[in-house]
Amino acid sequence: MRGSGSIAKGSALFFRSIQITIRSASYASPLPASLTPGRGFGYRHSHSYNRSQITMAPRDPNTLANYGEWLTKHTTVNFKVNFEKQRLEGSVLLELESLTDKKSQEVILDTNHLSILSVKSNSADLQWALKGRVDPYGSPLHVSVPEGVSQGDILKLDIALETTKDCVGLQWMTPAQTGNKKHPYVYSQCQAILARSIFPCQDTPDVKSTFTFNITSPLPVVASGVPVPSDAQGDGDKLFQFEQKVPIPSYLFALASGDLETAPIGKRSVVATGPEALKGAKWELENDMDKFLEVAEKLIFDYQWGQYNVLVLPPSFAYGGMENPIFTFATPTIISGDRQNVDVIAHELSHSWSGNLVGCASWEHFWLNEGWTTYLERRIGAAIHGAPQFDFSAIIGWKSLALLGADHEFTKLIINHKGVDPEDAFSSIPYEKGFHFIYYLDGLVGREHFDKFIPHYFKTWARKSLDSFEFKQTFLDFFNNYGNDEIKEKIAKIPWEERFYTPGLPPKPKFDTAYVDSCLALAEKWEQADYQPSPKDVESFTANQILVFLQAVQNFSSPLDAERSHLLGTTYNISSSHNVELKSAYYLIALKAGDKSELPGVVDLLGSVGRMKFVRPLYRKLNELDRDLAVKTFEENKDFYPSTTKGQLEKDLGLK
């Protein structure tokens, strides 16, 4: 069926049959070329294509919605935050444009463990049914629209709902679980496919909608829209309103409510967090915020979203940062008191262009979001700290790539996602291999010329979604019409297919090793069993240089023994550091060395930080050293972790 061009447009059946056939495929062995994503679609389009003009077979395999027939134009969410019952209650109003001339009589939306109460259009009840679960995508909500709607007209669906206790997109906390122990807290995390657990939607990055948020809560609320000033005062529930006038995909829907206060960190920016942590958060970010924005705007073009704010979340947050528009959500581990982890903010800010304004059409092309963002983050770093910073960061990234297997489907730039949970395919590949592809193109045409392409690309695709083939076409069109024959010849030779579909490491570029040489030289000394360290060794190092040193030690072919590992931790003051990045890197060495004296510190960290980047490797290593302790620690803390983290850890520990 694939490649014949005869795909039944948007039918749920199409999706199901594909999922069932492909899900049984082994991702360790690459699929035949005819099944690789993108090549088989009957419809290939030019970059001038516009979703509202042309109907095509949906290209996102991770949604059950029939978004080839209907397109969400505007979404209004009306939610009451019920802390007592730990659920959102209310309704969502979807304004759907009919895309076909055959007057589709059914809307299919994504849901996952949602309680649907009613579906209405113009106050009249419509027939609806939640169909059986298609794991990991949830239960499609089928709404029948007997009369259909003419092509180009809008159907308004008013859906009453409540979230359930199985909602994977919301993390609820009792007062006891929060920083100042006085108030409850809730925050959302929708990337990649969790928005459907909060409200029924076309849960695909290929659909972008404007949003209105009407959120009622007893505590302050932030969301991924611009706050609409309100004069709500007094005790009890208040209404918080936000407007998002730039169309965004469902995964960028976000809200949080808790005991939040804000402080300015830049011209267009505030940081929000618990009152007890506000001062530290402000200090950490206020030095760099405007610098980041200035560099990014020079490199691309003006910031399009009005405000750029940061919400510092409770420690259970699973990521370093999440680029929710208007309010980036960030882990409190970046508030380390040394301004050494603010590159996370440069990264999330960069997503305001790469990802949020111009984003991947499906998770198969996720590299377009993260690879571009990693590239922009490094350009910002270089503009602020000098050129060697770019290479330094790229070398750290390269090391994380080199650790991954060489021929797994998930090590390709374009990953087949049919039947796959995007969560399972997540790795540093889209970040680092994506970065290297952009960096390769940059080097090929030359920085001066590539810098002209950057704003062109983001302008061409602003407010749209694209796939890797459209990216390729945009790049080729730009440089073929650029008026430079030398560049034209060079780009004709780009091995696109090879770069898109070859698993494993891309060709290694030459790096400027100025900043890593001293770190690696120190690691080499530690390879000698009699090396006597001194605190002076790392005196001139930045935290990131210490990190490179620690990563090199982690990779020793013969690991340090417990005594030497301990000596390292105490001499360099790492065991007592507040920088979680350093501490967790050191604990990996200690666990490998079998240094049991550090176990209480490891257990403590696992119970106080939820960032997956730290907890997953630590649990794996702890499991190797002391399985009972790993399982016990997990059991004690499993309700502290968000459900996706919990699920991943259960898999890692073989408990599921």
548 burial class (0-12, 13-18, 19+ CB within 10 angstroms)?
buried
The two structure tokens encoding residue 431: 């970040």
Which residue from 9, 51, 183, 347 is in contact with ligand BES, where contact means CB under 6 A? 347
Cβ closest to ligand BES, residue 546 vs residue 568:
546
Q: What are phi and psi of 116, to 5 degrees?
A: -95, 130
Cβ closest to Zn ion, residue 350 vs residue 468:
350
Binding partner of 59, given ligand BES, Zn ion, none, CB within 5-8 angstroms per partner class: none
Which residue is listed with tokens 């891309």? 506
Is 431 an annotated catalytic residue?
yes
Taking CB atoms, the residue at the shortest distance from ligand BES is 320
Which residue is listed with tokens 């001293």? 518
The two structure tokens encoding residue 399: 């090391």
What is the radius of gyration, based on Cα positions, of the chain? Answer: 25
Which residue from 158, 162, 203, 348 is in contact with ligand BES, where contact means CB under 6 A? 348
In 3D space, the residue among 70, 68, 73, 72 whose CA is nearest the CA of residue 11 turns out to be 68
Residue 450 CB, shortest distance to Zn ion, in Å, is 21
Cβ closest to Zn ion, residue 370 vs residue 537:
370
**Can you tell me the distance from the alpha carbon of 458 to that of 615, in angstroms, rounded to the nearest whole number?**
35
Residue 482 CB, shortest distance to ligand BES, in Å, is 31
**Can you tell me the distance from the alpha carbon of 151 to that of 146, in angstroms, rounded to the nearest whole number?**
15
Give the x/- contact pattern for Zn ion in 352-391, rule: CB under 5 A: ------------------x--x------------------
Does residue 61 touch ligand BES according to CB under 6 A?
A: no
Binding partner of 378, given ligand BES, Zn ion, none, CB within 5-8 angstroms per partner class: none
Residue 373 CB, shortest distance to Zn ion, in Å, is 5
Does residue 323 touch ligand BES according to CB under 6 A?
A: yes
Residue 319 CB, shortest distance to Zn ion, in Å, is 9
**Can you tell me the distance from the alpha carbon of 544 to that of 593, in angstroms, rounded to the nearest whole number?**
22
Which residue from 344, 376, 413, 523 is in contact with ligand BES, where contact means CB under 6 A? 344
Does residue 648 touch ligand BES according to CB under 6 A?
A: no
According to DSSP, the residues that pair with 464 across neighbouring strands are 358
Which residue from 55, 163, 191, 474 is in contact with ligand BES, where contact means CB under 6 A? 191
User: Of these residues, 348, 432, 581, 598, which one is catalytic?
Assistant: 348
**Can you tell me the distance from the alpha carbon of 187 to that of 272, in angstroms, rounded to the nearest whole number?**
13
Residue 172: in which H helix or E strand, if any?
Answer: strand 170-173
User: Of these residues, 67, 187, 251, 431, which one is catalytic?
Assistant: 431
**Checking DSSP bridges between strand 221-223 and strand 255-257, what pairing results, if any?**
antiparallel
In 3D space, the residue among 363, 354, 487 whose CA is nearest the CA of residue 424 turns out to be 363
Does residue 322 touch ligand BES according to CB under 6 A?
A: yes
Residue 593 CB, shortest distance to ligand BES, in Å, is 26
According to DSSP, the residues that pair with 110 across neighbouring strands are 201
Residue 430 CB, shortest distance to ligand BES, in Å, is 9
Is 440 an annotated catalytic residue?
no
Residue 271: in which H helix or E strand, if any?
Answer: strand 269-273
Residue 501 CB, shortest distance to ligand BES, in Å, is 22
Binding partner of 69, given ligand BES, Zn ion, none, CB within 5-8 angstroms per partner class: none
Which residue is listed with tokens 């200035």? 294
**Residue pair 81/188 in contact by the 8 Å Cβ criterion:** no
Phi-psi region of 119 (alpha: psi -120 to 50; beta: other; left: phi over 0): beta
Does residue 613 touch ligand BES according to CB under 6 A?
A: yes
Residue type at 321? G
Does residue 339 touch ligand BES according to CB under 6 A?
A: no
| Footprint (CB under 5 A) of Zn ion, residues 22-41 | none
Cβ closest to ligand BES, residue 191 vs residue 197:
191
Does residue 266 touch ligand BES according to CB under 6 A?
A: no
Q: Give whole-number Cα distances, 305 to 252, 301, 302, 542, in Å.
A: 13, 12, 9, 33
By CB under 6 A, name the binding residues for ligand BES.
Answer: 191-192, 319-323, 343-344, 347-348, 351, 370, 426, 613
Active site residues: 348, 431
By CB under 5 A, name the binding residues for Zn ion.
Answer: 370, 373
